[in-house]
Amino acid sequence: MKVYFYHTQDIQHILQQIEKQEFPPHFLYGATLFSKHGVDVVWHKSKLNQSRWKMMVRTTWRILTCKESFDAVYATHYRGLELIVFLRALHLFRKPVIVWHHQPIIKSPSKWREWLGKLFYKGFDELFFFSQKLVNDSCKTAKYPPQKMHLGHWGADLKFYDSIRHQTQRTKGFISTGKELRDMPTLIKAFNATNAPLDIYINEQNGDVNYNKVFANLTLNDNIKVHQWNRLAPYELALEVNKANCVVICCQESKYTVGLTTVVEALALGLPIICSRNPQIPIDFDKDGCGISVPYYDVENWTKAIDYITQNPTEATAMGARGRALAEREYNNEKCAEVVTQVIKKYDKKA
């Protein structure tokens, strides 16, 4: 069996970096391991920085004119794939479309948009979600069959991080990485109050947010260092994360899994985590014993969590170990590939 793999990122660049062991393979959502499960891959040729419509037209054209035969489309996101999805909904595209859905399916207050949405979701043969909460919330809309919604067990490629874990000593204190919907005011105020060392690695600009302007309006004590990081370099960032004693993920409230990429990296590296309490994330840090969750925008409880990690290094180390064990059991690239290919192979005509 063979799938056409679609991603919104530069697949060819990622594959080249994976070959050099400088990029974590889980950014390709298990696809690099599909061959172990009897599924081959046709890689979409990406072109970045296009408008939404140009991306949709180009993606549709590449799929419809692909010279290699394939049995299904497997995509990490439906952005850019919308025309194929509508063609599938209208029975004008014959191959199954299997996609990762990053947010809960929602009900629109507009009757027209709700009708269009129901038509759109008929174009998906199977959907993968990052957490059971996203699945449960999506079921409430009655817009898509629950039996076709799956928990994907997306997680880090443990072999990639094993090559990093023993390279450096952990001497850096706390670290914050990631760029999406980060709540820097709450994080800065909490670390100003504790005087614990914090390194922040973040892009200067993310979407409409200019973090330089955000930091300009905040007072940063000497214990806080900000490092601008304007290119996608997960390997270099992972080396810095591995020097830290704890990962902090302070985010704004949202309806999707903001911070999950940082979470799975921390689990793989065996590091304790302090994270905003995002119910969409599949890990319960407190219950699973791998970290501390803090309500959104709660400076006081962020301060307490930082102090707890600082004052209890033995327990912090144990949290990291429990997190690594959780990654090995539930959230890793191997398990993701296994779960996804089980669903994909339902559409194997030769089976």
Please indicate, yes or no, whether residues 127 and 196 belong to a single structural domain of this protein: no
With bands split at pLDDT 50, 70 and 90, how would you rate the model's confidence at 47? confident
Whether residues 320 and 336 fall in one domain: no
Q: What is the pLDDT of residue 247?
A: 98
The tally of domains found in the chain comes to 2
Per-residue confidence band for 205, with pLDDT thresholds at 50, 70 and 90? confident
CA dist 220 to 178, 214, 216, Å?
19, 11, 9
Share of residues in the chain with pLDDT > 90 (%)? 84
185 with 106, same domain? Answer: no
Range of the domain at 36: 2-155+332-347
Q: Are residues 50 and 142 in the same domain?
A: yes
Specify the pLDDT at position 230: 66
- Edge-to-edge strand list for the sheet holding 97-100: 40-43, 2-6, 72-75, 97-100, 126-129, 149-151
Q: Has residue 23 got a pLDDT over 60? A: yes
Query: What integer is the mean pLDDT of 55-78?
Result: 96
Residues 309 and 261 in one domain: yes
Instruction: Identify the pLDDT of residue 46.
Output: 85
Mean pLDDT of 90-106: 96
pLDDT at residue number 209: 85
What does the pLDDT read at residue 121?
97
pLDDT at 341 over 80: yes
Q: Mark whether 128 and 184 lie in a shared domain.
A: no
Please identify which residue in the block is written with the tokens 């033995």: 314
Give the pLDDT confidence score for residue 229 in this predicted structure. Answer: 75
**pLDDT tens, position by position, 246-300:** 999 999 999 889 999 999 999 999 999 999 999 999 999 999 999 999 999 999 9
Residues 340 and 270 in one domain: no
Say what the pLDDT of residue 231 is.
63
pLDDT of residue 178: 86
Q: 15 pLDDT exceeds 80?
A: yes
Burial letters for 231-254: b for 16+ Cβ neighbours within 10 Å, e otherwise? eeebeebbebbbebbbbbbbbbee
Residue 233 scores a pLDDT above 80: no
Of 88, 72, 80, nearest in space to 120 by CA: 88
Give me the residue label for tokens 């027209």.
Answer: 112
For residues 125 and 211, membership in a common domain is answered with no
Asked if the model's pLDDT at residue 7 lies above 90, the reply is yes
**Average of per-residue pLDDT values in the chain:** 94
24 touches 234 (CB < 8 A): yes
Q: In the predicted model, is pLDDT for residue 14 greater than 70? A: yes
Res 203 pLDDT > 90:
no
- Show the tokens assigned to 107: 């009900």
pLDDT at residue 166, rounded to an integer: 80
Question: Taking a C-beta distance cutoff of 8 angstroms, is the pair 171, 197 a contact?
Answer: no
Residue 350 or 57, more confident: 57
Q: Are residues 239 and 99 in the same domain?
A: no
CA distance 252 to 258: 8
pLDDT of residue 208: 86
Apex 344 CA angle, 19 and 53, nearest 5: 75
Question: 185 with 315, same domain?
Answer: yes
Q: What is the pLDDT of residue 351?
A: 62
Statement to judge: residues 85 and 41 lie in one domain: yes
CATH number at residue 68: 3.40.50.2000
* Residue 122 banded pLDDT, cuts 50, 70, 90: very high
Q: Model confidence over 302-339: pLDDT tens digits?
A: 999 999 999 999 999 999 999 999 999 999 999 999 99
The reply to whether 35 and 183 lie within a common domain is no
Helix (H, G, I), strand (E, B) or coil at 224: strand
